[in-house]
Structure 1
């Protein structure tokens, strides 16, 4: 299994603090944000490589960081070749770029580089592997309908299968939201390129999940614990207080 950390953003919503530092390398407590992610994936069964996809602007920063970081398996920095927000490939575009560039043929766990959380991922991986060929997404009950409007809202059946998906709905059906956690078994990787060809949309991962759950089985795993989506200065400041 490989882990792919999405880190190709330009920090436009955090410009005052992240203009010259990629968001995953911002300090949270005594270490960069991305190191908190690595602490949670270190030691996962069958993990053989961590890939970090970034852009041309921040590649050197991540390469320097990777040289100084040891988690017991190789860390590979992938440069998607973009130089500005206008050129960015989007989250799904970066997943496909990484699959092609590194010829990935393994199961792939995709994690957004702006996720900050305090729970282990072992149970998530066990759940995903019990569902063999299905994509398994990470879910979180955000507990507030107003906040849920900012995310993809997910409906599950009793077996945990995704039966509905609303991307940033005006009237959310629940507070159960999709996080940027996607377990993609190796035989599902070709669906990423199929989606890009059919939709022409590469930016929003939620659009991909909405398309995917109508094409094949997608399951959701509920995380509990503390989670922050570091998408604003306010969220970053709250995370600093907690971590």
Structure 2
């Protein structure tokens, strides 16, 4: 059964550090194994029952629209009647038939905070005051059920998942499970960093001014200063796809059957 909390995925960036691929397609649609990385991200949430996805589109968003619109055609065995043009799926179909995917244009130049802010009218249509959000270029084997449970347990406005990959991401200074300082992309960093996979109350959107707001700057810093940003520390697998080397690494893990983020293929959670 699908759970009511919607999942926002930021898909609008230009991915300039992966120019080899993003010149032709948006980064979330770049394939890892036999599916785009955004599919892997969505599949993780779906594994835990969260199947209401809201994609914040921007750069080459039409490619993402076309991929999902033609999903059945590309990923099922079909019978095509050339005369009537009737298409019929055969076989077992796919496990994604119950996904609901909102594909919303949030602008070509909009920053991460602005993209979230633009989703406010759609979030108001949801049954839940809580929503989840992540980036469209990072895979993780975080237990989504435990993450949501943790968020509800502390009563604060926002939870961010902290991970331990190499530096160059947003550094979290943590004390007693609370985020005291949020530093985005320091020159050097050790310890925990921002891995995305947020759980937030809709009130967080009130801290975002508009399209030019970088979510990782003022909004997250304000939440930390107010004591409303709490961290969920994830010691497991996390990997972003910022560079071609990282793309190759993820594909190698898939080829070797070592995709630790592919929790849907595991017998246990």
TM-score by length of 2: 0.75
Helix, strand or coil for the counterpart of 1:180?
A: coil
Which structure has the larger Rg? 2
**Residues 230 and 236 in structure 1, CA contact (< 8 A), matched pair in contact too:** yes
Q: How many Å separate the matches in 1 of 2:143 and 2:34?
A: 19
Distance change in 2, residues 1:104/1:156 (3 Å): farther
Tell me the SS of whatever aligns to 2:196.
Answer: strand
1:131 CA drift (Å)? 1.9
Deviations 1:116-140 (A, max 9, x none): 2234322111111212343100100
Say whether 1:9 aligns with 2:26: no
Decide whether the 8 Å contact of 1:136 with 1:220 is kept in 2.
yes
Alignment partner, residue 151 of structure 2? 128
The CA deviation at 1:171 is: 5.1
Look up the match of 1:229: 240
Say if 2:216 is the partner of 1:205.
Answer: yes
SS in 2 for 1:196: coil
Give, in whole Å, the separation in 1 of the partners of 2:41 and 2:51: 16
The alpha carbon displacement at 1:62 in A equals 1.7
Distance 2:114 2:212 in 1: 8
1:158-197 equivalent positions in 2, closer than 5 A: 158=176, 160-170=177-187, 172=189, 174-185=190-201, 189-196=202-209
Q: Check the 8 A contact 1:42/1:72 in 2, yes or no.
A: no
1:7: how far off? Answer: 0.2
Rounded to whole Å, the distance in 2 between the matches of 1:36 and 1:43 is 10
RMSD: 2.3
2:118 is aligned, of 97, 100, 103, to: 97
4+ runs deviating over 6 angstroms: none
Counterparts of 1:207 and 1:237, CA distance in 2:
34
Choose between structure 1 and 2: higher helix proportion. 1
Q: Distance in 2 between matches of 1:13 and 1:122?
A: 33
* Count of aligned positions: 224
Change in 2 beyond 3 A, CA 1:120/1:29: farther
Distance in 1, Cα, partners of 2:193 & 2:243: 18
Contact 1:59 1:79 in 2 (8 A): yes
Given the alignment of the two structures, is residue 34 of structure 1 paired with residue 38 of structure 2, yes or no?
yes
> Could you tell me which residue of structure 2 aligns to residue 239 of structure 1?
250
Distance in structure 1 (CA, Å) of the matches to 2:113 and 2:231: 19
Distance, in Å, in 2 between the alignment partners of 1:126 and 1:190 is 19
| Structure 2: 5+ residue stretches without partners | 73-95, 255-269
Quote the Cα distance in structure 2 between the aligned partners of 1:138 and 1:71: 29
Q: Distance in 1 between matches of 2:122 and 2:171?
A: 32
Q: Is the 8 A contact 2:114 2:208 kept in 1?
A: no
Gaps of 5+ in 1: 83-87
Question: Does structure 1 residue 219 correspond to structure 2 residue 230?
Answer: yes
